[in-house]
Chains A and B, each alone.
Chain A
Amino acid sequence: MTAEFVQPDLMPALPEMVMLAMTCLVLVVDLFLPQEKRGFTLLLSVLTLALAIGAVALVAPASAVSSFGGSFVLDQLAVVLKIAVCAITIMVFVYSRDYLADHDIYKGEYYVLGLFATLGMMVMISAHSFLLVYLGLELLSLSLYAMIAFNRNSLRSSESAMKYFVLGAMASGLLLYGISIFYGITGTLDLTQLSASVKGQMAEHPVALGFALTFIVVGLCFKLGAVPFHMWMPDIYQGAPTSVALFIGTAPKIAGFAMAIRLLVDGLGDLQVDWSQMLTALAIASMALGNVIAIAQTNFKRMLAYSTISHVGFILLGILSTSANGYASAMFYTITYAITASVAFGVLLVLNRKGFEAEEISDLSGLNDGNPWYAALLAIAMFSMAGVPPTVGFYAKLSVLQAVIQVDMVWLAIVAVLFSVIGLFYYLRIIKVMYFDKPMAEQTTTIKEALDVKILLSANSLSLILLGVFPSILMAYCILAFS
């Protein structure tokens, strides 16, 4: 019996192992740090993520490698997305520091939970079986629930954590139900075998496969936040501490995208006719509802939530075009969206001060008078979300639309453009408020900000223009991931 043990290849999972080991180290070290030395936890956390990026780069294979009996895969897609997730999490951590300190929630758990969530995302990205997809998702979600409820003194954040928890559990249940039906039909959890099995059973069991697929799509769309599974997003964005909303609004979208690709494309590629139809409906609903409702928002965080919903519609557009080009565009869109959103939340975080929670749109009025640089950074992000050249948002939208047009769905492209135009309105309103409205009393004093935050935030925002002018820096990798 002992001879039968075959040691799986552990190398591909090196980044995850590094993450786990370092996170445990952070957890322990943080216990022994006095409050005023909390900066060291941040430093160690950033180091963890940097090491993880290094490990990913170290083990990046020329062609896809799988391990752990095929349940874990490391391919170009995984490499790029893991690096993106870790890099964005670094920014999230740095931006959050002053906010946490000002709101008396500057504790090591924020970073530890954030690191565990990142680990969950990395698991999701590399998962090649239903089991690991689910485990990664749960690890991510569980960490997020705790992070949202993190500010125990705020009733609102407890409430939104509760909502997210219940709805998330429900979505997980639906996903699991779908998985169990697939297991019943095919007898496997492994996505490669699933794909082969589904191919064979398609003619025999179309109804049952469609039934199971629906649950998978629903679970997925809840995670991404597509209409009508989006209801949690506005409440959670608003209720969670801004530093957590920043986290939820950025990196997990990338993991969600990875999950969609793994499940729908890798595992259920043969059912693409079915899910592409479902996603079409969900994408249109998301773009319509997201853009239109965002107009009526007065709370900036809520507005961003609805804007995210509309962007999810765009990401779905790329996926539903079921072409390598479309997947690459959606990947580009997702990553750049995460970068853009981190700018928007980052500026909002900078505006927060002790006793002043900046989250209403009116809090931004006249920002340009006191803090022209931050106003400019936010304006770039808004332009990028609206898709104005030469920012990256323009190119991202363009490439997704191109992919949609290539599969002869011109009408869908027109619908998408139409809703983007509606979306333009509320993004430009932010710019109008910042530049033309009378500043509020709070806004006239210049923000005191840490230099590292300023540098990182500036680089973050300017990268939107850089990527807009030189999209091939990132696009080349996205195309490579699907060729």
Chain B
Amino acid sequence: MVSMELVYLAIPLASLLGAIIAGFFGKQIGRSGAHCVTIIGVAVSFVLSLLVLKNVAVDGAPIYNYSVYTWMISDGIRFEIGFLIDGLTALMIAVVSGVSLMVHIYTIGYMHDDDGYQRFFSYISLFTFSMLMLVMSNNFLQLFFGWEAVGLVSYLLIGFWFKKETAIYANMKAFLVNRVGDFGFLLGIAVLLMFTGSLDYYEVFDRADSMVTATMQVIPGMDWSVITLACILLFIGAMGKSAQVPLHVWLPDSMEGPTPISALIHAATMVTAGIFMVARMSPLFELSETALSFVIVIGATTAFFMGLIGIVQNDIKRVVAYSTLSQLGYMTVALGASAYSAAIFHLMTHAFFKALLFLAAGSVIIAMHHEQDIRKMGGLKKYMPITYWVSLVGSLALIGFPGSSGYFSKDAILIATKNADVWGAGYAYLAVLLGVFVTAFYSFRMFFLVFHGEERMDEHTREHLHETAPVVTVPLILLAIPSAIIGWLTIETVLFTDFFDQAIIIFREHGAMAAVAEAFHGPASFVVHGLAPGPTWLAAAGVISAWYIYLRKPQLASAIRQRMEWIYQLLDNKYYFDRFNEIVFAGTARAVGQVLWRLGDALVIDGLIVNGSVRLVGWFAGVARHVQTGYLNHYAFAMISGLILLLGWAVLG
């Protein structure tokens, strides 16, 4: 077991080491040195993660819950760094380090000509470290640390091209919106700490029962159930990080960052931290029906309505970004339906195919000389065969083509939602079912516009079109394989064995997962089952509509658009969320800020308190300085005076 402890420790530290070397000694080791160290670091993490996964999944290693290091103990509350290794963690670290490794390799090609090459590698390795710390944590302190650390790296990376105005705006936006979520998250942790007196997961879970009946009055006169309050606050944190309505606004803008980042952080891993956290907290969420309803409604709304926006987007990365939002909504719905394992399963398959889609989009962007508008593409199939085929695999997985990885996870969610019995489950089922059609429609709209049809790019670009380099395509292929098959291979283990038994708790009355298990008789029959009327046909309908509208009758698209101008406007403006935030929140904040600045800051704080006290302190310092005359007898006199004062106190007092 000792050796395993070292392995657990080595998993995050290998990445950290890479990040430190590339970050601090980037100049010395050069470009190739930087990518070598970081890739080796992450590769070590990945291999060790696989080892841990094998230990847990195949050999059935017992749960490892151990504090590595106690930072301090204050009033009986331990602040620790510790690891909790169970099925959930093992799966997450494998996914995180695996996708991260692919992205690292891909970055060599994508960032080839960028000045901040070493800095970039340092950041993504640092991100990997933070994310691993987050998922391996056994306590809330470390969870919060990882949570903030991934947020920080995300912030740094969105603004990676800091000379670009929009990038700065986007990272500011991401930062602010995430603060709202983090505020909720921190309050949630505080509530748990207040009622259980611990930050350790297991201790909190053990004492959670006592919170069910407890109430507290946040607003005087209103009794709130503590467990519901805590869960909703924690979920608000998840909403920020996993971009759920209405805190989703930052994610599309985050596409201003380099594409590998969009793939790694804003699609595959960081944004799923919220999903992971809720799954990890399942023993708490299970105790509160209200919180689960809240979760499922938010998730369903995100899943359907964000998918709709994807239809009208023309930036290739933004289409994928809205698709990410929608898929995160699916996972959230699964959480709300108490099908935590289905959510994590979808998280895993989604991590592969969404990273694949992003990296493929990146590949297209490289080939198109950083042109991202899909209206200026078309017919790329013959120029970029590898990218074409992997994109097809990714898109099929995304829409849930029977047999692909996305099919299994999405179908599990659909069945679970159908059988969920919390308030709002009906609405959620409708939303995710329609979402299947929408997903298929926007995915293949983009696919057809990019790879098929008329070649709409300019002459110059066309001449230079060619398949991208192997450092780009190899990770694509490596990601395409799991995107295609991992669902088939793992569905049984992940969903229907005791893989998550210790990590995820589901109460008997929440029978959604049980219903899925009933419907499941092996992956093959699951596929056959899918061919019966249902979601699969909706997806097919989506693909055919997209083909008909965008390839067969391209003029139809603009006709529809003119007919339904108001809907188009609504979607194109993303339901006016941004404008609403801009006017209501930002506007009010600015107005309040102005007033406070004028009155409070400029007058009271700056004028009286800060400058006043600075002046006072400065004056005193100036005076006191003159006591230090440099004359020996003055010094001796000061000493004697001090002595006499003390003597007077000791003898006479």
Contacts and interface: CB of A to CB of B under 8 A. Distances in A.
Contacts of A215: 643
Interface string B171-203: 000000000000000000000000000000000
Contacts of B650: 210-211, 213-214, 274, 278
B62 interface: no
Nearest to A219: B643
A228 B618 contact: no
Interface in B60-108: 69-72, 74
B625 interface: yes
B642 A422 contact: no
Interface string A388-413: 00000001000000100000000000
Interface stretch (B8-16, B283-291, B414-422, B628-636): B628-636
Contacts of B2: none
Contacts of A227: 642
Interface in B598-653: 617-618, 620-622, 624-625, 628, 630, 632, 634-636, 638-639, 641-643, 646-647, 649-651
B643 to A, nearest CB: 5
A292 B632 contact: no
Interface in A222-246: 222, 227-229, 231-232, 234-235
Contacts of A228: 638-639, 641-642
Interface of A is mostly: helix
B647 to A, nearest CB: 5
A215 B639 CA distance: 11
Contacts of A472: 69-72
Given A167-B636, A218-B643, A278-B649, A402 B74 contact: yes
A167 B621 contact: no
Interface string B243-272: 000000000000000000000000000000
A203 interface: no
The size class of the interface chain A forms with chain B is: 35 or more
A237 to B, nearest CB: 12
A390 to B, nearest CB: 10
B636 A218 contact: no
A163 B624 contact: no
Contacts of B617: 292, 295, 422
B639 A167 contact: yes
A22 interface: no
B162 to A, nearest CB: 18
A241 B646 CA distance: 34
A211 B632 contact: no
B628 A234 contact: yes
B72 A471 contact: yes
Contacts of B69: 470, 472
A277 B648 CA distance: 13
Interface string B478-499: 0000000000000000000000
A234 B635 CA distance: 12
Given A211-B650, A295-B618, A218 B628 contact: no
Contact of A293 (B624, B632, B646): B624
B627 to A, nearest CB: 8
Contact of B647 (A162, A214, A231, A294): A214
Contacts of B639: 167, 170-171, 218, 222, 228-229, 231
A207 interface: yes
Interface centre among A174, A210, A422 (most CB of B within 10 A): A210
A231 B624 contact: no
B651 A211 contact: yes
A163 B632 CA distance: 6
Given A228-B638, A278-B649, A295-B618, A289 B624 contact: yes
Contacts of A277: 649
B630 to A, nearest CB: 6
Interface of B is mostly: helix
Nearest to B614: A425
B635 A292 contact: no
Contacts of B647: 211, 214
A297 B618 CA distance: 11
B135 to A, nearest CB: 21
B642 A296 contact: no
A478 interface: no
Given A289-B624, A470-B69, A296 B636 contact: no
Contacts of B70: 472
Nearest to B616: A292
A402 B75 CA distance: 10
B635 A167 contact: yes
A166 interface: yes
A472 to B, nearest CB: 7
Nearest to A160: B630
Interface in A152-170: 162-163, 166-167, 170
A231 B628 contact: yes
A166 B643 contact: no
B632 A278 contact: no
Contacts of A274: 650
Contacts of B620: 292
A217 interface: yes
A163 to B, nearest CB: 5
A289 B617 CA distance: 10
A57 B632 CA distance: 43
A227 B642 CA distance: 8
A190 B16 CA distance: 54
B618 A296 contact: yes
Contact of A174 (B71, B74, B625, B643): B643
Nearest to A390: B71
A166 B635 CA distance: 10
B618 A231 contact: no
A171 B640 CA distance: 10
Nearest to B69: A470
A293 B643 contact: no
B475 to A, nearest CB: 34
A402 to B, nearest CB: 7
Given A170-B639, A211-B651, A231-B639, A296 B646 contact: no
B642 A166 contact: no
A207 B72 CA distance: 43
A469 B80 CA distance: 11
A278 B646 contact: yes
Interface in A284-307: 289, 292-297
Contacts of B630: 235
Interface string A267-285: 0000000100110010000
Interface centre among B71, B74, B620, B621 (most CB of A within 10 A): B621
Interface centre among A162, A167, A234, A296 (most CB of B within 10 A): A296
B449 to A, nearest CB: 48
Interface in B274-313: none
Interface string B110-122: 0000000000000
B621 A170 contact: no
Nearest to A215: B643
A229 B622 CA distance: 20
Nearest to A166: B632
B550 to A, nearest CB: 54
A135 B13 CA distance: 50
Nearest to A174: B643
B635 A293 contact: no
17 contacts: A166-B636, A174-B643, A211-B650, A211-B651, A214-B651, A215-B643, A229-B638, A229-B639, A229-B642, A231-B638, A231-B639, A235-B628, A277-B649, A296-B621, A296-B624, A470-B69, A472-B69
Interface pairs A-B: 10 shortest CB-CB: A296-B621, A228-B642, A210-B650, A231-B635, A214-B650, A295-B621, A214-B646, A214-B647, A228-B638, A292-B621
Interface of B: 69-72, 74, 617-618, 620-622, 624-625, 628, 630, 632, 634-636, 638-639, 641-643, 646-647, 649-651
Given A167-B636, A211-B647, 14 more contacts: A162-B632, A163-B632, A170-B636, A218-B642, A229-B642, A231-B635, A277-B649, A278-B646, A281-B646, A292-B620, A293-B621, A296-B622, A296-B624, A296-B625
